[in-house]
Structure 1
Amino acid sequence: MERSLSIIKPDGVSRGLIGEVIRRLEKNNIKIAAMKMIYMTKAQAQGFYDVHKERPFFASLTDFMSSGPVVAMVLEGENVIPKYRELMGATNYKEAAPGTIRADFATDIEKNIVHGSDSPQTAAFEIGYFFNSFEVIS
């Protein structure tokens, strides 16, 4: 079993898309092992996206991610990282395959509804950033 972090970003929460994202996860046999709604401070968003601190989009990304509540989830399943990344679609929603979350709902490259881990190593850091071991159900 593999795990991934999923975040429904502030745009997805404010637009009422939490249920739709969860529906798509369940429809694709992706198990939710933990879930919570949080409102990150700017400092928490900066810590989460620290790997991107030298990138030109870091300030706008962390501003956006701390602009409203998000839903963080731990996903679990066989090959869940590539499976969820395929379900999300390309980061640039204009390049996302039809029927993916981003193709269907994103409004720009930053406001693209969801985040997902890109590797097992990243997933381990990201899950630990938001959840302790008692909060994740196997």
Structure 2
Amino acid sequence: MRGNQDDPDDDYSPEAVMARVGHLSVRAQRETEQITRIIRSTFGHGGGAIADDARIVHIVLTAPLSVAEEADGYGFAIGVNAPECVDEAHWDFTRKVIAAEIGTERAVMVRAAMTGPESEKLAGAVLYDAATDIPLNARELPRNPGRKGLH
């Protein structure tokens, strides 16, 4: 499936995410891509107000599925550029959509942290990097198109 349902001209490619998790089972690859898309598309729709320039900088699939073939759940570490986006309440809507779309057979952990030049790089499979990946929607576009990334 290509494109954002809200924007038929969107060039988002699930294959880019799937290539980064080729070590996983087909089911886990599909679910990982779907969860990544949900995280990106629901950003900004959670509890509380966020700044207009708030963005997801990266999404990393953390252990156990970043290295193992089968596990009981998924861990997603989300790097954001605005402190208000770290608040757990901001991610409630995302978690509800994931539970509705993926189900509750496997646990899905979503946690956000501030990121920046001094931030520690997380171990795992990078599923989205704002500096290199195609935006999913207008919210992911940098406010200053001349910038090379959001770090």
User: Into which bin does the TM-score normalised by the smaller protein fall?
Assistant: 0.3 to 0.5
TM-score by length of 1: 0.37
Q: Which has the higher relative contact order, 1 or 2, with Cα contacts under 8 A spaced 6 or more apart? A: 1
Q: Counting helix residues as a fraction of each chain, which structure ranks higher?
A: 1
